Amino acid sequence: MATKVMRYQIIKPIDCNWDLFGKVLRDIQYDTRQIMNRTIQYCWEWQGYSSDYKIAKGEYPKTRETFGYSDMRGYAYDKLKSIYQRLNTANLTTSITRAVQRWKTDTKDVIRGDKSIACFRADVPIDLHNKSMNIEKSDDGYIVALSLASNIYKKELDRNSGQFSVLINEGNKSNRDVLDRCIAGQYKISASQILREKNKWFLNLSYSFEISKPDKSRDNILGIDVGIVHPVYMAVYNSPARRSISGGEIDNFRKQVQKRIKELQLQGKQCGEGRIGHGIKTRVKPIEFAKDKVANFRNTINHKYSKAIVEFAIKNGCGIIQMEDLKGINTDNVFLKNWTYYDLQQKVKYKAELEGIEVKLIDPQYTSQRCCKCGYIHRDNRPEQAKFKCIDCGFEVNADYNASLNIATPDIDKIILEFLKCET
């Protein structure tokens, strides 16, 4: 089972005005923060009590015998439900569960002094239980019914229901497909969140679905080489199938933005009062905006490339995708540093696993110097960036294609290691 999150902007409430809906969201967000911080406090107090109990009696106390609950979630809920009465009870439970999970994750680091006790800020997301949402498609678009207010709070608001219907911006086709599949029951809605960014409210819709099982009929291996001339070069082991993606799209955009950033930096030195504002933050704001554009472009391109890679693997019956392990990437390579190849690999891995394709990372050492035809390894085999010519057998081919064929070879790490042993 896989779980993903898709973000949708809340355009407007359907059954009330923004003044009321905004007030409800702010009130519930405030209460959510208090609830989660109080829950963390209870967990910390229980940890201290447990430690003292262990010292005194040689064993840790049992939560059920001490509090009457199997864990801290029940105890916190019983304490907090009468204090914070504006939240839908299912959402209250979800917030408490999230805080307890955070505590469990941090406990060891907190005790060692490596991490501070979690403290949730004012912008904490509002939790939504999976049963607190219902999605429908109408002539106006996609409507999401959100159960937010408790019975007590809805009376305070003079409403007949604690549920609020909102119109969301469905975005592109991929976003709409997710909504349609949730409506059809193909995807199961999971606990989700509402959050606020730059005075806009968004729904982070969480959904889950079954992952495809590995397809045993796919016995081919796809090798992926990443580089400068071609960000991605693909080749299939023992097959003529190959495909490359040109790097011009990435490099041109990066150069354009870097040029624009330099122009903005020069403008900042000679800016008028409109750019001076409250100081340095106002001056660098356009530069930060330009950097955000680069990050968004990288994310979009990596989604595009990863989709193309997985589709190529499926088309050629590949059950395995092999890529270079880039953890030891050369920090002198400016292009590879400026482009998030690790992010690309993560997206490939995620999309491939959904299709039942295994992803393996191999040691990239010598894959660019090895001849994919005879197996001979030598640094002189690659006289130029884009050219490969084996000095042993004379085989000549595109350097990236040669590297991708090597990467696609089964057990290539062991093959290279054996060759190097024999050479020495």
Task: State how far the Cα of 405 lies from the Cα of 360, in Å rounded to an integer.
Answer: 15
Task: State how far the Cα of 6 lies from the Cα of 181, in Å rounded to an integer.
Answer: 13
Report the candidate in 162, 7, 176, 199 with the shortest Cα–Cα distance to residue 87: 162
Q: What's the CA dihedral at 29, 30, 33, 35 to 10 degrees?
A: -100
Catalytic residue among 288, 324, 353, 392: 324
Q: How far is CA 181 from the centre of its chain?
A: 21
3-class secondary structure, 340 = coil
Catalytic residue among 31, 127, 170, 400: 400
Residue 400 annotated in active site: yes
Catalytic residue among 31, 127, 170, 225: 225
Residue 343 annotated in active site: no
Report the candidate in 47, 195, 146, 34 with the shortest Cα–Cα distance to residue 99: 34
The DSSP code for 327 is G
Kindly state the tokens that stand for 224: 């992926």
3-class secondary structure, 289 = helix
Instruction: Say which residue the tokens 């082991």 belong to.
Output: 237
Instruction: Say which residue the tokens 């959402």 belong to.
Output: 91
CA distances from 317 to 50, 346, 351 (A): 56, 21, 16
Residue 31 annotated in active site: no
- Answer for the pair 18, 12: CB distance below 8 angstroms, yes or no: yes
Task: State how far the Cα of 97 lies from the Cα of 104, in Å rounded to an integer.
Answer: 11
Task: State how far the Cα of 181 lies from the Cα of 402, in Å rounded to an integer.
Answer: 42
Which residues are catalytically annotated? 225, 324, 400
